[in-house]
Structure 1
Amino acid sequence: MDIGVFLPTGQAQWGPAGDPRDLIAFACRAEELGFSSLFVNDSLLTARIEPLTMLAAVAPVTHRVRLGTGALLPVLRRPVQAAQALASVDLLSGGRLTVAVGAGFPGRFGQPLHELSQVPWERRFARLDETVALWRALWAGATAFHGEFHSFDDLPPATAPAQPGGPPIWLGGATPAALARTGRLYDGWLPYPPDPADYATGLKAVRAAAADAGRDPEGLTPALFVNVRIDRDAATARRAMNAYTRSNYGLPLDETERIQAFALGTPDDVAATLRRYTEAGARHVVARLGAMQLEDQRDQLEQLAALTLPASP
């Protein structure tokens, strides 16, 4: 079992008096505690450190921990330049990058991003798959690429990642179409279903799609994106997480938890919820800490380490 955390790259998470450069020390402490991975979010709708910039800053000061995006939105970037940036982060980290990608979803957190990027909302999933195929072709040394959305006759030499073939690419999403595409095309799955039973059902569908495509179903990484808040009681944890979801999404907790996975309450409560997801098949849990100030983020980091990483300092 791997346990990772999201770096609090959103400006609201540092607090008005915070210094985003303190995120470097936060990342180093997470590695020191024994976490398996450090992930970053991607958005243009909230003020935050750009994710690949954050990972490039963290790469040289960490040594073991994997670095990941959850989820990177390729629509926000030109595909050839994005391939170069991802390969560069992989090189700077010595081959520790994992790229989880997404296509956005209807409503305030999806369509506006396409409008800002001047990319059509329609056929966004096909565009995402083709972008990933282009990245992989570039990393393999291709000199030409012809698809529905991207066509190049004379590609320049691409920056080669440290990992042969490029970093593993996971897909975020749990619709039936996303499950099938994960199994056929991707290296891992990073959803956030509110019910562990839905995780188990989704993972079964991903593995079936992989087998149908002639791939090894066990070769795909089953990961989980989960929001975590540890407190002295459930009510206190819910109040803190409600403040977080209102700041991050503009939505109260009772609405957000219909969409995303949450583990809230006492250490025993959180451990029990995480256990239900691991019993459903999750093998790489990435926790987003529900805290509004960097000091509180650090406290949650220490508490999660004590709960899930018994050998941590």
Structure 2
Amino acid sequence: MDIGVLLPTGTAQWGEADDPRELIGFGRQAERLGFSSLFVNDSLISPRVEALTMLAALAPATDTVTLGTAALMPFLRRPVQVAQSLASIDLLSGGRLTVTVGAGFPGRFGRPLYTLSGVPWERRFTRLDETVALWRALWDGADHFHGEILRLDGIPPMTRTFRSGGPPVWLGGATSSALARTGRMYDGWLPYPPDPADYASGLADIRSAAADIGRAAEDITPALFVSVRIDDDVESGRRAMDAYARATYGMPLEELEKIQAVVTGSAAQVLERLGQYAAAGARHMVTRLGALGMRSQREQLERIADLIPAVQAEAEDVSAQTGSPLRTGHLA
């Protein structure tokens, strides 16, 4: 079981006196505390440190943690340029990059971003899958690519990735189409379902789709994106998470937890809930800290770090009982 953390790269999570350069120290602290991955978000809706820039800064500043996106939206950038950037980060990190991608959502997190990028909203899933296929072709040295949407010839030699074939590429999303596509062509799955039962059923669908084309279950890392806050005073913690939800999404906590995995409460309560996701099959948890301001973020980082051994033990117990091997991002 890998436990990672999402860095607070958005200005909505910073206090007035916070220095964004503290994010490098935050990442180093997470590595020292035992987190196995550092992830960053990607968006044009709210101001934030750009995702690939943040990962490039973290690459030489860290030693062992996986560096990931949760999730990168490729349509915001030119696909060949992104292939070059990702290869460069993979090289600078010594092969520690994992790339989760997504196509955006209807509403303000989708169509307006496509308009800003000059890319049509229609056929966005085909475009996403072709972009990933293009990256992989370029990382393998291809000089052309002929898809339904993307068609390129005479591509000059690209920067090669640290690893043959490039970094693992995961998909975020839990629609029936996303589950089938994950099983067929992606290296991992990073959703955020509010109910662990939905996670289990989604993972079963992915593995069924993978088996249909001869892929093994172990070829796909089952990950989870989950917002977490630990407080001795449960009600105080929920108020703090509500403030986080309103600052980040402009919606109250009771609405956010209907659409995303959110875990709050005492350490014991949080452990129990994360254990349910482990029992559902999650093997790499990317935790988003429900806190505003770097000081509060660091406090929550330490509290969650204290739970890492127990969460990992829960996953080991589940694995022993079910005979299902642990699958971690480092092995993807």
TM-score range, shorter chain: over 0.9
1:231–1:265 CA contact under 8 A, matched in 2: yes
Matched letter for residue 143 of structure 1: D
Q: Deviations over 1:113-169 (max 9, x none)?
A: 111111111110010000000000000000111112211110010110101100000
CA–CA distance in 2 between the matches of 1:189 and 1:233? Answer: 33
1:225: which partner in 2?
Answer: 225
Question: 1:216 offset after TM fit, Å?
Answer: 1.1
CA–CA distance in 1 between the matches of 2:34 and 2:244? Answer: 25
CA–CA distance in 2 between the matches of 1:5 and 1:194? Answer: 18
Q: Does 1:308 align with 2:311?
A: no
CA–CA distance in 1 between the matches of 2:234 and 2:210? Answer: 39
2:269: which partner in 1?
Answer: 269
Structure 1, unaligned runs of 5 or more = none
CA–CA distance in 2 between the matches of 1:297 and 1:168? Answer: 28
CA–CA distance in 2 between the matches of 1:153 and 1:122? Answer: 24
**SS at 2:174 equivalent:** coil
Matched letter for residue 240 of structure 1: A
1:100: which partner in 2?
Answer: 100
**SS at 1:120 equivalent:** coil
CA–CA distance in 2 between the matches of 1:57 and 1:153? Answer: 32
CA–CA distance in 2 between the matches of 1:235 and 1:75? Answer: 40
Between the two proteins, the alignment pairs up a number of residues equal to 311
2:143–2:153 CA contact under 8 A, matched in 1: yes
Matched letter for residue 277 of structure 2: Y
1:35–1:309 CA contact under 8 A, matched in 2: no
1:31: which partner in 2?
Answer: 31
Q: Does 1:156 align with 2:156?
A: yes
CA–CA distance in 2 between the matches of 1:4 and 1:40? Answer: 11
CA–CA distance in 1 between the matches of 2:152 and 2:115? Answer: 24
2:212: which partner in 1?
Answer: 212
Structure 1 runs of 4+ with >6 Å offset: none
TM-score with structure 1 setting the length: 0.98
Matched letter for residue 24 of structure 2: I
Question: 1:310 offset after TM fit, Å?
Answer: 6.4
Matched letter for residue 208 of structure 1: S
Q: Does 1:79 align with 2:79?
A: yes
Matched letter for residue 177 of structure 2: A
CA–CA distance in 2 between the matches of 1:279 and 1:119? Answer: 40
1:171–1:189 CA contact under 8 A, matched in 2: yes
1:2: which partner in 2?
Answer: 2
1:256: which partner in 2?
Answer: 256
CA–CA distance in 2 between the matches of 1:309 and 1:253? Answer: 28
Q: Does 1:128 align with 2:128?
A: yes
TM-score with structure 2 setting the length: 0.92
Structure 2, unaligned runs of 5 or more = 312-332
1:173–1:190 CA contact under 8 A, matched in 2: yes
Q: Deviations over 1:35-86 (max 9, x none)?
A: 1100000000001000100000010010000000000000101000000000
2:282: which partner in 1?
Answer: 282
2:87–2:162 CA contact under 8 A, matched in 1: yes
Q: CA RMSD in A?
A: 1.0
